[in-house]
Amino acid sequence: MDVVLVDAGGTNIGSVRYALQRLGVDAALTSDAAAIRGADKVILPGVGAAGPGMARLRELGLVDVLRSLEQPVLGVCLGMQLLCARSEEGDTECLGLIPAPVRRFTEAPGLRVPHMGWNRLSVQRPHPLLAGLGDDDQAYFVHSYAVPVGDWTLATADYGGAFSAVIAHGNFHGMQFHPERSAAVGARLLKNFLEL
């Protein structure tokens, strides 16, 4: 299986690559359009802010490449947000592949932003990406912006209200948490993506 990691400058690329190696997949890190188009699976990792993330994809000439993909694509953390329509972070137009907005968490007493740490995943509808996910399974999050619950939502987490933890629209999928830091649950979800 040919899996590529889009080299969009995210600081979590090494840890995502290592998590895939533990599953027996050596994913190439690339910004080459032909390699991305030709891959069986494409993963868009990312850590940081939406504006610089989109600027990097534009600079690499990858916006139209990513929009044209027909194979399974997975966005991780910021990568998931970049798959969406628009982010409140810097009022950034994103890739528009999942028709969802990205909004900042509202700070409240006892509710710090960013949301950091382990949080329970709640399955909203069955999907092969979530195979084997149990009611008490948790994932590790670090983010200040989130996708609200909508038609795209496969699983939610709660932080001052429900938000989308796993999303999908057609062949595009996203995980707001870090599967590479989410122990056995993260490994299972990455394996599920590889098997789509």
What's the pLDDT tens digit per position in 57-99?
A: 999 999 999 999 999 999 999 999 999 999 999 999 999 999 9
Q: How confident is the model at residue 46 (pLDDT cuts 50, 70, 90)?
A: confident
pLDDT at 9 over 80: no
* 173-184 average pLDDT score: 96
- Rounded Cα distance between 22 and 188, Å, is 11
- Is 28 in a helix, a strand, or coil? strand
Report DSSP state, residue 128.
Answer: G
User: So what's the pLDDT on residue 132?
Assistant: 97
pTM: predicted TM-score of the whole model, two decimal places: 0.97
* 168-186 average pLDDT score: 97
The alpha carbon of 110 is separated from its chain's Cα centroid by a whole number of angstroms, namely 26
User: So what's the pLDDT on residue 48?
Assistant: 87
Catalytic residue (one of 70, 77, 94, 169): 77
Q: How confident is the model at residue 10 (pLDDT cuts 50, 70, 90)?
A: low
Q: How confident is the model at residue 13 (pLDDT cuts 50, 70, 90)?
A: confident
Q: Which are the contacts of 67, defined by CB distance < 8 A and separation ≥ 6?
A: 95, 96, 97
Q: Is 94 a catalytic residue?
A: no
Q: Is 89 a catalytic residue?
A: no
Q: Is 107 a catalytic residue?
A: no
What's the pLDDT tens digit per position in 140-172?
A: 999 999 999 999 999 999 999 999 999 999 999
- Average per-residue pLDDT in the chain? 96
- Domains observed in the chain: 3-194 (3.40.50.880)
User: So what's the pLDDT on residue 17?
Assistant: 93
Catalytic residue (one of 115, 143, 173, 178): 178
User: How many CB atoms are closer than 10 A to CB 14?
Assistant: 13
User: So what's the pLDDT on residue 11?
Assistant: 66
Pairing of β 145-146 and β 92-93:
unpaired
